[in-house]
Structure 1
């Protein structure tokens, strides 16, 4: 005769099985950071696509560099020298090491009185909110400006604007109004970047009692930075001492 399984024993076995299943599911969830297996799979698929995209971008960059190298290798001596000189010139201009001439825009910012007349008083609104000048310069750089200057001072990678004792400085030089910003590049593109509706020019004129003019020009000259003699903080004219 088969022994009958008591009802109590069946309940105990069922509870034990339920606990084991619960622990197993909890373990799976912990491994998937609380996500279902389906969600985890979707996340891994997305990450894989992202990695493949990065791989493709890197391959394209490697190919571009390799093409440049091949062009230098296959070029005649004169052509090779010309290509290298052209690259050096481009990067020297971007770094502010040489004078730059060309078309671009001239931006002039002046404070105004309540009657709308130009004032010779200090431009407190901008001076105490000089981040607006930085924003305007950043807009020009984003519009592919080849060179930018502020009141005759070339803006380079280590330029900084700061307020000290109610005076506005660009690096160690005091700058006063009118603020004149010159930028060399495509004049139409540069002007459009500043004069876009509700853009930086609109903001300055509406909230900071200032008049901003943006003039296009085919003949702008921006001088080299007076920091040319320093590379990474080292004076290249300094001679070694014995």
Structure 2
């Protein structure tokens, strides 16, 4: 009986062990069947993987290209901005030159300088020492331009880069047009700057007064001058 009992126990153990082996084999077989792929499916998988790798590489190339283009655009925009500033400066400079040469009309505040011959001329003195000469007006014109005047006119006649002022007896000729005294010189510019420049100690005003010229200087809110007629 003891031997038979042992046989039963051993039979049960072997049965259980066999069952486990069979179950494990069946499970492994099932798993193998699930993950097993046919040759055609492997080829498809390999093809798609290759396509994905190529797309990722192409994407990296495009990202790099976009970054390079972005940098080129930034450089182009910076260069264009600098050129716009330069062109704007050229346009402003051209406009200033055109104003000085009289090619454009101009208006704005400025100063009015009136030069008159002396009221009293002693009989024993030379009359030429008491009247306004072309050098007096040229002195005023040069000082006004040096002080920043944008345009100047004598008795309403605008002065240009090639203008000439000469004395003809008691009158002054400006570009061939004669003007009698008093001579009114108008200048477009910053009024206070122009006045201070004329009134400097030992400057233009003192020279004129020492030459017996009567001088009157005043500000004007608006001075208009036409463009040069070709």
What is the TM-score normalised by the length of structure 2? 0.55
Between 1:188-197 and 1:85-94, the stretch displaced more is 85-94
Alignment of 1:141-180 (within 5 A): 141-164=145-168, 167-180=171-184
Equivalent residue for 2:205?
201
Equivalent residue for 1:221?
224
**What is the aligned counterpart of 1:125 among 127, 130, 151?**
130
Query: SS of 1:74's equivalent?
Result: helix
More helix by share: 2
1:123 Cα deviation after fit:
8.4
1:221 Cα deviation after fit:
1.3
1:214 Cα deviation after fit:
0.8
Between the aligned partners of 2:77 and 2:183, the Cα distance in structure 1 is 45
Note closer, same or farther for the CA distance 1:206–1:144 as it changes in structure 2 (3 Å cut). same
Query: SS of 1:189's equivalent?
Result: helix
Equivalent residue for 1:100?
106
Equivalent residue for 2:71?
none
Query: SS of 1:133's equivalent?
Result: helix
Between the aligned partners of 1:96 and 1:123, the Cα distance in structure 2 is 33
- Larger-gyration structure (1/2): 2
Could you give the per-residue CA deviations for residues 19-76 of structure 1, whole angstroms, max 9, x where no partner exists? xxxxxxxxxxxxxxxxxxxxxxxxxxxxxxxxxxxxxxxxxxxxxxxxxxx9996149
Equivalent residue for 2:25?
none
1:79 Cα deviation after fit:
8.3
Q: Does 1:113 align with 2:119?
A: yes
1:86 Cα deviation after fit:
4.0
**What is the aligned counterpart of 2:138 among 104, 113, 134?**
134
- 5+ long unaligned stretches in structure 2: 1-75, 122-126
Query: SS of 1:205's equivalent?
Result: helix
Instruction: Kindly indicate whether the alpha-carbon contact (under 8 Å) linking 1:106 and 1:183 is maintained by their aligned counterparts in 2.
Output: yes
- 5+ long unaligned stretches in structure 1: 1-69, 116-121, 230-242
1:112 Cα deviation after fit:
3.4
What is the TM-score normalised by the length of structure 1? 0.53
What is the aligned-residue RMSD (CA, Å)?
Answer: 3.3
Could you give the per-residue CA deviations for residues 183-228 of structure 1, whole angstroms, max 9, x where no partner exists? 11111110011111222122212322x32111112211122234xx
Instruction: Kindly indicate whether the alpha-carbon contact (under 8 Å) linking 1:107 and 1:215 is maintained by their aligned counterparts in 2.
Output: yes
Between the aligned partners of 2:84 and 2:201, the Cα distance in structure 1 is 49
Between the aligned partners of 2:77 and 2:92, the Cα distance in structure 1 is 14
1:154 Cα deviation after fit:
1.0
